[in-house]
Structure 1
Amino acid sequence: MSFAWAKPYEPKTELGRWMDERMPLPRLVFNAVGGGYPVPRNLNYGWNFGVLSGIFLTIQIITGIVLAMWYFSSADGAFTSVEHIMRDVNAGWMMRYAHANGASFFFIVVYIHIFRGLYYGSYKAPRELVWMLGLVIYLLMMATAFMGYVLPWGQMSYWGAQVITGFFSAFPLVGEPIRIWLLGGYAPDQATLTRFFSLHYLLPFVIAGVVILHIWSLHIPGSGNPTGVDVKSEKDTLPFHPFYTAKDGWFAAAFLTIYAAVVFFAPNSLGHPDNYIPANPLATPAHIVPEWYFWPFYAILRAFTADFILPAKLWGVLAMFASILLLFFLPWLDKSPVRSGAYRPVFRRFFWLLVVDVLILGWCGGSPATPFFVALSEIASAYYFAHFLIILPLVSKYETPLPLPSSITASVLHGEEAEAAPIGQAAPAN
């Protein structure tokens, strides 16, 4: 579909024309994010978090490279090198706090991005591959964040590595060899730090590569929108630049202001105080807990306390991995012809129950494993899996959606041109 406002890229200088003939990188950027890329005109602020994710990935890569210049991946020197960065390196404290809090903010914007996708059906055809590549990015983020949390070699870093790599030992036969291979020995030590540092440095660049694939796969079907209605005419779209670059720009500035406030005024609010104590293999912390962005999955892991055919620990590990892997199957679990939750009243209620359920899991995962929190984790974990495996398929089959607008333009102009049309005719989802 061609658009009158979508002007083709035209180099304006001799150098630009020479470059365009030999390596048309400016043309590629223009067509991907410039005035040549049509975007639905009704995108709300939920769509800003994709750009924010890219911004925080960039922040993490830049600050990580700077910190790597001073970090010493040694069991004897890692903790001391971090203290040296904080106290003696010019602006080292800012780089360290920007990197540590940047990880938390990166996960915040990605979680919002994921739940926005869940609400608006971004996993539905023809964008299944966009969704799956996004989940691959999330899994790579989790691996990168875990390895990065070990590098300061504080108490929680050491024992977090001990506990989390211990998950693999739950698998019969292959589990313990995998754990030893990951650690480079029988317990976290020098080999662990060397391996984790190299992988922590490498994986962000792998994430950047998958992000390019994620964006590429998005540009083939085009961006989704809050109504879930397909683009039908030129009136339904706007050029990405200048409209959405301006919208993304001011929103990013506002969000980065909050991030800067945390970095400068509350830099330790999202961390754990035990990590300011040097690692001691002979002193176990009273309450071992991962970073906050892993808490929901940690709660699912701890929800299994009794052996049934398989050991409880193995059930917990399997459930923890399954809680993420089942998201890959959402395009086939949710068969509703309507994409957007805005037109699915029953789905919408269960979606918000899911949000509350995940928050409860996070609360349980960050709390001590007392009988109350274990029982609450069991209930919340059961609902989490029931939502995707039972509730969502049933709702998609029996729910009666609301009438969809006849076009994206009609949804924007409301009563002026909004004429409801039959669901199948107005917005075929598949």
Structure 2
Amino acid sequence: MATDLQVGRAGTSAPVAREPYVPTGPDRERFDYVERTIQECAGPRGAKPLYDSVVVVGGHGITSHTFAARLARSPEFAGRVVLAGPSPVEDRRLKAGVSLRGSACDFLAYALDRSTDEVVRQIAGTHQPTPPIAYRQTASMAWKDRATGTYTHSKVGNWQGGKKGLKRPGMYGFRNSRTAMGIKELSNLDGILERPEPVTSLEHARSLATGRRPLVVNVTTNGGLLGNATSKPKQAIVAVQMPYKEPPGGLRAPFATATTYAPLVLRERTIDVGYFTPFSDPLSPEATWYGINARPVDLKKPVDKEREFELLLEELGGCAEMMGLVPVDPEETTGKAFVPAPPVSAPKSSLPGTLELRRACTPWIAAYYADGMTGGTVGSLIAAEAVLRGADPYPAVAKALRRYRVWNWAWYFETVKIPEVADVLLKTLGAEIAMVWPHTLSRDYWFSRA
């Protein structure tokens, strides 16, 4: 990216950093893998950064906080990272993604230079005896039985982790806003400046910078805020989600603790994708499970969002009841979302001195394949490492997320283009066989490396 932009203002001195974390045991293996990925995607250290400061617009989510956290602990940018925009207020409602892959947590811990245990504890809280981790993943088709009016399912199969689960985390369940706040709490806060005013333009953002050659990073939903080209979305996701708790008798068989379950409902020639994971939220301490139900839609035709929300909630509730789960304060916690998808291809450039980070880190359709938070953590860390190396973040992030884009597209093809075929295969062969490619074979990009 070009960096011929200079803003005249006095510089700031870098704050004193804390002692670096020295990973051992499983964290050593995790950090080694992250470092190999950085080398592969962003290249070796050596060159100096092109920029002397950063302004992150819309800077209060997982993507922005991860990006800022990595830069704020570097001597080049400590004290020169600005998070611009109003700070959100944490509440119990589930407003964005909750499922954080174990592999994504590896990258998050590295960005923060903290132990994985510390990261999980900070986000999940300590009110539950064990952290909300799944060690295997299961799936089946599900449908409402016309005779009884209740939901039932085909044979539940293991598509990752086998019958006993792996000995490394596959999935965490955290409220999105708690994850974002936890990242911020563990960051080098002395290296980050907050500007709560809403940013209205690129020039406005540049005026908030602490250096003469700022990089302005857009993480808002307004893709045109900095003047970069946008495209009309062709697909979107409609989703509903809420937290649950187990009844005194526990889950109904074959459902099990420390395991995710994806009930897939064929409706009107598309498969609605349900997903249940272990969950922990300090603001909803009763909740031990989380459920989401998502449906991809084509925007060539009008979408009746309220109808879709109603149907998705009915399916989600039916599948939760099938498992034996009980909703936790749904009036206060239920989330509904309609999220347009960016183009399936990764962005390649933007105006000089700008970075469309949200767009770069979104592997196509969000809230659909548990890769939104993964894209945000992996992509933002790789982008930060590219900035530190004076390299272009766009190809680095695209390389890091290229597999996720392919897998996201493959899931879309199965659930939207050939849903009846997927339905038959899952009912007759089971998830162990029907989901081998790409889902089972991509296990190491779901699970932590150790």
**Same fold (TM > 0.5):** no
Looking at secondary structure, tell me which structure has more strand per residue: 2
State the TM-score, normalized to the length of structure 1: 0.26
State the TM-score, normalized to the length of structure 2: 0.25
Looking at secondary structure, tell me which structure has more helix per residue: 1
The structure with the largest alpha-carbon Rg is 1
